[in-house]
Amino acid sequence: MKPLQTWVPVPENSDFTIYNLPFGIFSVAGDAPRAGIAIGDQIIDLAVLADAGLIAPEKDYFTQPTLNRFIGLGKKVTNEVRLQVQRLLIDEDSELKKNPRFLVPQSEATMHLPIKIGDYTDFYSSLEHATNVGKMFRDPENALLPNWKHIPVGYHGRASSVVVSGTPIHRPKGQVMPKGAASPVFKPTGRLDFELEMAFVVGRNSDLGESVPVSRAEEYIFGMVLFNDWSARDIQKWEYVPLGPFLGKSFASSMSPWIVTMEALEPFRVKGPDQDPEVLPYLRTEGPKNYDIDLSVGIRPQNGEEEVLCRSNFKYMYWNMAQQLAHHTINGCNICVGDVMASGTISGKDETSYGSMLELSWGGQKTIDLKNGATRTFIEDNDTITMRGSAKKGDVSIGFGEVSGKILPAK
């Protein structure tokens, strides 16, 4: 098949190619937020495009401050909009090319959280990450808990504190139990961490009492984003028994602003790891359900250069998204358009691919040397953490942009 070409200049190695065309919410010069599609260094203003009659549905769906109403129209509509825009970007004689008001430079735009998140769930689906944590805190010989290979373990997080990339994060405070102490103390966390994750956005409602079968789960997934589930490891360690994560997680999670559709990700499907023991029937899937997406995490100290901390890949996930969603609804829990479900930390098989400072420093026992001569075991104030993701197969390449956040001192 001949590679697709667009008349819009797309920089080499751009995340936002003609094959991608992710959806987001942007504003310019104080105007109200509205929907757009990214191509190269530009944003296509979907509200203006709809007003000109070049795409359907009507303009009102694209002048909303979130994508929820648009996504709720269903994949048949949302993917047709994406394909309509793609055709306009390929056609040298298109009205889109003739009228520059349809395009907005990304450098002039402010990006917003693209969806109103009703509920947020965080899974724990990387075998390598779960094994590393188990070795550190439980038993090196029996690192996984008995349930881990039977269910996609997860917990319900705090949707109100999910923020768009670029939002500064204040160091959280809470109770920690110092080593050897008899009682806890209240202080800012001394073990602030990132978690390299991806998340999917729910694109279809289900009814209370309804279970979404694993064979149809993908019908309910609109697209994916990069996700940093910030973690305060010392607060988490003291609080998580017996009910799991709470203040050590709920203070903030950062999300990339562009939602890459599942249609754009279709070329990058791959087979996931073998699941042994065999899972229960309601979790059994057929065909390739994982995605080959390269991921990286960079750290930039204040007044310093960014350098890579780790490189991983989404294909390593033991539990796939269809299994996660099917398990999430198997008890009749309903899901809604705009719900976010995160993967859990994505770690690979060697130390260079560990997706958290907890693993990279092995619980603080190892130091990470930076180019400026500084060292880290966990994240310090004024460090900026940036995650990136991209996929390439032959002539087809796409990317997610980035999710970035700077750590400010505790308030």
List 129, 156, 170, 328, catalytic entry:
129
Strand partners, 110: 27
Query: How far is C-alpha 175 from the chain's CA centre?
Result: 28
Alpha-carbon distance of 138 to 241, in angstroms, equals 13
SS3 307: strand
Please report the pLDDT score of residue 30 as a whole number: 82
Please name the helix (run of DSSP H) or strand (run of DSSP E) that holds residue 96, with its range, or none: helix 95-98
pLDDT at 1 over 80: no
What share of the chain has pLDDT > 70, as a percent? 100
SS3 340: strand
Alpha-carbon distance of 38 to 312, in angstroms, equals 25
Q: Is 170 a catalytic residue?
A: no
pLDDT at 148 over 90: yes
Q: Please, are residues 113 and 162 in contact by the beta-carbon 8 Å criterion?
A: yes
For the chain, list the domains and their CATH numbers: 23-112 (2.30.30.230), 120-408 (3.90.850.10)
Please report the pLDDT score of residue 138 as a whole number: 87
Q: Tokens 């791959």 — which residue?
A: 270
Each residue's pLDDT tens digit, 196-253:
999 999 999 999 999 999 999 999 999 999 999 999 999 999 999 999 999 999 999 9
Q: Please, are residues 258 and 244 in contact by the beta-carbon 8 Å criterion?
A: no
User: What are the two backbone dihedrals, phi and then psi, of residue 177, each rounded to the nearest 5 degrees?
Assistant: -110, 100
CA-based nearest residue to 40, from 15, 5, 72:
15
Structure tokens at 222: 């609109």
Q: Tokens 């402010």 — which residue?
A: 110
What share of the chain has pLDDT > 90, as a percent? 97
> β-pairing, 396-408 with 307-313?
unpaired
Please report the pLDDT score of residue 409 as a whole number: 98
Structure tokens at 226: 């990069």
Each residue's pLDDT tens digit, 322-333:
999 999 999 999
pLDDT at 405 over 90: yes
How many other CB atoms are found less than 10 A from the CB of residue 281? 7
Mean pLDDT of 373-396: 97
Q: Please, are residues 397 and 404 in contact by the beta-carbon 8 Å criterion?
A: no
Please report the pLDDT score of residue 97 as a whole number: 94
Mean pLDDT of 293-305: 96
User: What are the two backbone dihedrals, phi and then psi, of residue 68, each rounded to the nearest 5 degrees?
Assistant: -55, -50
Q: Please, are residues 119 and 206 in contact by the beta-carbon 8 Å criterion?
A: no
Chain-wide mean pLDDT for the chain? 97
Residues 6+ positions from 136 with CB-CB distance below 8 Å: 358, 362, 363
Mean pLDDT of 40-65: 97
Query: How far is C-alpha 339 from the chain's CA centre?
Result: 12
pLDDT at 358 over 80: yes
pTM of the full predicted structure?
A: 0.97
